[in-house]
Structure formats: C-alpha cells, structure tokens
Amino acid sequence: MRTFVPLKLRASYLATAAVCAALLAGCAQFKYYFQAAQGQYALWSDARPVDDWIGDPATDPKLKDRLEKAKLIRRFAVQELGLPDNASYKNFVPLKRQFVLWNVVATPELSLRPVQWCFPIAGCVSYRGYYDKADAEAYADELRKEGNDVQVGGVPAYSTLGWFSDPLLSTFINHSDAELARLIFHELAHQVVYVQGDSKFNEAFASAVEEAGVNRWLELYGNDAMREAYVRYNARRQDFMGLLVKHRQMLADNYASKSSVKKKREEKLRIFAALQEEYKVLKANWGGYNGYDRFFAEPLNNAHLASVATYNDLLPGFRALLAKEKAFPQFYVAVRNMSNLPSVERHERLHELARAMAQADEATTAAAAKDAGVVN
C-alpha cells in the first residue's frame, strides 16, 4: 500500500483491512475501523498537488503564499535534515473543520497511566482518533461511564508513518513559518524511525528532530523578528510544560500515597485548582498571551496530563545523542540501532546520555565561572 497504488484501490485495501481487523477484534470495532478508512479516503479524494493550487487563478493569494512556503520547507526537510523525499506534504486538502481529527485519551480516576489501544500498523498507543468530533465525544462518554477520566482533543495533523502520502491541510497551513516547519519536520520524522508500542521513544525522537530542524531553518531563512518571536514562543512553551510536569508529579505522588480514596480525591481536586491558579499567574507574566487557554476549556482531569511524559521524558537524551553524532544522517543511524534494543534498555541509554550532557554542561559552567573569577 504505497503511494503508487491508485486512490480507489488504496481505499479498497484500507476498507478490506478495516473489515479484517474488525473481524479479529470483534464486531464492536467495525464502526471504528470503518470511520478511519472513510476519513483517510476523504483526505485522498480531496487532495490536489500543491503546484495545481498555486497555478489556479481562483486560489486565494494568501493560500498561494503559504503553499509556496510549505514547498520551501519540504525541500529544506530533505536537503538539510535528511528527511524522506516522498509524496508526503506535496498535496493540499482544504477541510471544512478546525481539526483533521479528534483524539480520545483516558486514564483511571486515580492514575496517570493512560488506557492503551492497539492497532495493526501503529502498535499500542494511548489515544484513539476519530474524524468526526461527535463520534469522539460519544466514545468519550462510554469511557466516562466506566469511571475513567477522559479528554477529547483536536489534532491539526498526523502521520501515516510513510504507508500513505500525508497531505498539507487547511488545519495547519496558516501557522507561522516556524510552526509550519515544526509540524512538517515532526511528522516526517515519524517516517524515519517508529517503534511499535513505544510512544515515549517515538514522540521524543520526532520532537528532537523538529526542535533542531526549526533552529536550523530560522538560521537560514528567518529574520530577527521571526527568531525573536520563536524564542518567545519556546520560552512560553517551556514555562507551560514545566507547569504541567510539576502538577503531574504532584498527582503521581498523591496516587502513590497510602491515603484513603476519599483523601486522594480531595487532593486531586486541590492540585487541579492550584494548576489553574498558577496558570493565571503565568499568563499574566506573559503579558496576557492566551495561546494555552484552550487547554483549560473543559474541566481538567488526569487525561489532560497523561501524555506530558510521552513527549518530554526522553527528549533530553535525544538532544544529547544529536549533539554527539553532530549530523542528522549519523543521528538517524544511531536512533535506528537504539530502536532495536529492548524498551527498558533503550530508555536507560537515553537517560544516561541526558545525564552525561547535564554533567558536562555543569562542568563547563563551573569552569567559565572560575575563569571569570566568580566564587560560590
């Protein structure tokens, strides 16, 4: 099922796969797999080459500019970052909705461990995606009735891991240049290395590629205003992530304690209330920037914080590995080799790399302070 297969045949294969998977998993799964097949086929059906959109007199000039920028970013991804040179992000699809799909995330009431769902290609992951928000909300309601904490979150883009041609979408094409580059680099990185059932490894790797890629992109194509804006964006992002990590740890300590269920529930409410209050302070320090308000649009629960560790726990290790290898091709080889290790061992290798880099940074800072005559 590669990109040279005609669209109708690809849709037929996918629908067949959905039927087979449903038969294996039980009839209750059929509706889910079929909506996934329909949603993916709808994207293919509406996709047109970027150059067709650019050459069409009826295309909005602003959209033409964004598509030209996406072409430049796509070329940069191949030439400078060594990311796959395939048909992904060379077509565009206009969608009549804010997000391409909605992910459902769930955890037990007094746990941060997310519920897992397993699929033929992606392996086991901690979310379940729907192309229709109403379907996502309906499934979320089922999970809530079982006593779970649940979040439904909109997703502007996703990767099919190189099995199909991922298109540019109206859900993210109008992002700033740096944000557009970040998203494309991240999703293409999933096509380089992907380990079934290890979301922490996969997401941290893709995040390391996007981070380094955007920095290089801005060096070559950014101006001072763009670089300063991205520095502010990153600072806010780190502040917000730090806030979530702090309260996630507080919740984890609460759930691991020997307190009664009643006490744990009370402490859980207190921690989430504190999170909201501290966010207000953080927002004021940002001058009123409201880019993260959507996170608080519905009552907070464990599911909102379940994926924080997925994207961040192993990221320092990948940063250290990239610094060690110095170039993307060598970095990808090292990551592929690491992906063949057992999960516990590859995670520990990354933690070791992160600790070694942190120690080296501390030694460098101490040496610089000594040279400058600073005495502790």
Q: What is the pLDDT of residues 218-269, one digit of tens each?
A: 999 999 999 999 999 999 999 999 999 999 999 999 999 999 999 999 999 9
* Residue 375 pLDDT > 70: no
User: pLDDT confidence of 376, banded at 50, 70, 90?
Assistant: low
155 Ramachandran zone, left/alpha/beta (phi>0; psi -120 to 50): beta
CB-based burial of residue 340 (10 Å sphere; 0-12 exposed, 13-18 middle, 19+ buried)?
exposed
Q: Predicted confidence band at 2 (pLDDT cuts at 50, 70, 90)?
A: very low
In terms of phi and psi (left: phi > 0; alpha: psi -120 to 50; beta: otherwise), the region of 254 is alpha
Q: What is the mean pLDDT of residues 160-165?
A: 86
> Beta-carbon neighbour count of residue 290 at 10 Å?
8
Q: How far apart are CA 232 and CA 213, in angstroms?
A: 17
State what percent of residues in the chain have pLDDT above 90: 73
Residue 311 lies in a domain: yes
> Hey, which residues does 232 pair with through a beta bridge?
none
pLDDT digits (tens, 9 = 90+) for 109-159: 999 999 998 877 667 888 899 999 999 999 999 999 999 999 999 999 988
362 within domain boundaries: yes
Report the pLDDT value the prediction gives residue 10, as an integer from 0 to 100: 33
pLDDT at 11 (0 to 100)? 35
Per-residue pLDDT band at 26 (split at 50, 70, 90): low
Strands (E), 51-203: 91-93, 101-107, 117-119, 123-125, 128-130, 149-155, 168-169
Tell me how far the alpha carbon of residue 338 is from its chain's centroid: 21
Q: List the beta bridge partners of residue 91.
A: 49
Domain count, the chain: 2
Given 46, 64, 79, the domain boundary residue is: 46
pLDDT at 38 over 60: yes
Q: Print the domain residue range for 322.
A: 228-371
Q: Does residue 359 sit within a domain?
A: yes
Residue 23 included in any domain = yes
Alpha-carbon distances of 375 from 133, 363, 370, rounded to whole Å: 59, 15, 7
Q: What is the pLDDT of residues 195-222, one digit of tens each?
A: 988 989 999 999 999 999 999 999 999 9
The whole-number pLDDT of residue 374 equals: 60
pLDDT bucket at 28, cuts 50 / 70 / 90 = low
* DSSP labels, 16-77: HHHHHHHHHH-GGGHHHHHHHHHHHHHHHHH-EEHHHHHH-TTS-HHHHHHHHHHHHHHHHH
What confidence score (pLDDT) does residue 45 get? 86
Q: Is residue 303 part of a domain?
A: yes
CA distance 306 to 251: 11
Q: Is 313 part of any domain?
A: yes
User: Would 142 be classed as within a structural domain?
Assistant: no
171, 115 contact by CB (below 8 A): no
pTM: 0.86
Q: Is residue 239 part of a domain?
A: yes
Average pLDDT over residues 73-83: 98
- In this prediction, residue 334 carries a pLDDT of 98
